[in-house]
Structure 1
């Protein structure tokens, strides 16, 4: 008879054990290595020699990435209307040939947003070789006269620092303290009556409460502090029906809701007629 053999004893599975140990080692070892590296870098950065060593290592790393093809070959800019492209590249501190990993997007964004026309910027590295820039530029709204100077402003009332204003001569002129902050709402209101708005040559802020409008460079219109839009619409209706602004008037006061006050130009006194005189300057004698 054959003997029945009992079951062989199980051997431990080395694969499972070694896999567990590997995962455990990675889970513990990598953070330790990173922490050690950071600590070493921090210690090195405390001394001038350490700083030079770290900078040298960083430069060598960037050179290595450049040899692998990670260099800027294209800079794509969207939203640019006024800002010069060379000015953008100068603010970036990067251009074709620059190692793309050497460019700090956050710092580049901050630099771009210091430019006069740039309201906000987005900067992205698109590996392996492209820098992507998206700009939101400021839109000039009006020229602001205050304190003896002229400045260009945007819709938010912020000053756009430009050196020459001659190319913005067709923009509306707003005058006085507080005019910049309230210019956008005023111009939006004027735009509801475009035919009359085209005749407004300046808007003067009075006491930072209300506006006076200069029409045709000759007539001052006094708008109320409250509900100026209604007064503006009323003035436009009267101009269409009665052409009151084509009369010989100095001011039109629409601050009162139930009446319109006009001040006419004073009449120039006519010169009295002179009598004909003789050569000696006396009146000539009449025949009787």
Structure 2
């Protein structure tokens, strides 16, 4: 039986079975996936979120949660597999290893999460005796420091004391006196640490007279004097000092120049080398010239 409805003129007719326009739109909206997801998931999540926010507004709840997070973090950090128990320093002498330990001053055991390896490397690399360094944590809870130590090449008599310089002119360490490193060449003067490579070349060129070499003196931060025993000095030019020293060595081999009564060999002007005689040699030369002058006068 179909329902009947009463028309305005009193004639009965069949009711319209179709839904209203509002009902049709609501049904279309409900069939939309986004709307259904919002009703089934979004609204419940929003309710839970609002409840959580209101719950977390309580101070004691926030304190308890923060304390629990700290305890959880500490529990993870302090697990045995993450603990560093000791430091191994390789590639350097005992003295430098002690300096490294004093610089980083880590209290072991400590968690690997608390170690900043980049900062540790920078701290160790800043030490004067260290040329290069690598830091890592190896299995077994060992902080491994692999370093390359600078090798002293010269002793520099600096204004503030004796220092050991490497081939790059870096001050490796300080010493109390020259006798501590007698096997190393000695340099002195302002700017000597800025011309280490040239100084080493001069020391190598002076190898034939190394037993007489006392050191190199930097003059005016621009040129070298070669200081020998018997108070002899070879004054080298500012430019190309090595070839100039080599010429003196060759002349000494040929004529025993350095065995003569000479105090200074001045090569500062390459076109006009000058010899300065000692007092005895000068007096002897004057005596010989006087004899020759007297003989020629007769």
Q: Provide the TM-score with structure 2 as the length reference.
A: 0.62
Write 1 or 2 for the structure with the bigger share of helix: 2
Please give the per-residue CA displacement for 1:71-116, whole angstroms capped at 9, x wherever unaligned. Answer: 3356443321364434433434447643334322112112212333
Q: Is residue 131 of structure 2 the alignment partner of residue 119 of structure 1?
A: yes
Of the three residues 189, 195, 219, the one matched with 1:182 is 195
Quick one: structure 1 residues 54 and 248, their matched pair in 2 at CA, closer, same or farther if it must change by over 3 Å? farther
Alignment of 1:200-211 (within 5 A): 200-211=213-224
Deviation of 1:263 after TM superposition, in Å, equals: 1.2
Quick one: structure 1 residues 225 and 105, their matched pair in 2 at CA, closer, same or farther if it must change by over 3 Å? same
Q: Is the 8 A contact 1:231 1:255 kept in 2?
A: no
2:40 equivalent in structure 1? none
SS in 1 for 2:233: strand
Of the three residues 73, 76, 87, the one matched with 1:61 is 76
**Over aligned residue pairs, what C-alpha RMSD do you find?**
3.3
2:250 equivalent in structure 1? 237
2:267 equivalent in structure 1? 254
Alignment of 1:65-144 (within 5 A): 65-66=79-80, 69-72=81-84, 75-81=87-93, 83-94=95-106, 97-144=109-156
Quick one: structure 1 residues 84 and 136, their matched pair in 2 at CA, closer, same or farther if it must change by over 3 Å? closer
SS in 2 for 1:171: coil
Q: Is the 8 A contact 2:192 2:221 kept in 1?
A: yes
Deviation of 1:201 after TM superposition, in Å, equals: 0.8
1:194 equivalent in structure 2? 207
Unmatched segments (≥5 aa) in structure 2: 1-64, 285-298
Quick one: structure 1 residues 227 and 142, their matched pair in 2 at CA, closer, same or farther if it must change by over 3 Å? same
Larger deviation, residues 104-113 vs 231-240: 104-113
2:165 equivalent in structure 1? 153
2:238 equivalent in structure 1? 225
Please give the per-residue CA displacement for 1:117-151, whole angstroms capped at 9, x wherever unaligned. Answer: 11332101123523221112122222223436333
**Aligned pair count?**
219
Unmatched segments (≥5 aa) in structure 1: 1-49, 271-288
| Cα distance in 1 between the residues matched to 2:192 and 2:234 | 16
1:41 equivalent in structure 2? none
Q: Is the 8 A contact 1:70 1:100 kept in 2?
A: yes
Structure with larger Rg = 2
Quick one: structure 1 residues 163 and 57, their matched pair in 2 at CA, closer, same or farther if it must change by over 3 Å? farther
Please give the per-residue CA displacement for 1:152-209, whole angstroms capped at 9, x wherever unaligned. Answer: 3222222234353452244222222111100222212331342224432121112222
Deviation of 1:229 after TM superposition, in Å, equals: 1.6
Q: Is the 8 A contact 2:185 2:203 kept in 1?
A: no
Quick one: structure 1 residues 240 and 208, their matched pair in 2 at CA, closer, same or farther if it must change by over 3 Å? same
Quick one: structure 1 residues 218 and 163, their matched pair in 2 at CA, closer, same or farther if it must change by over 3 Å? closer
Q: Provide the TM-score with structure 1 as the length reference.
A: 0.64
SS in 1 for 2:165: strand
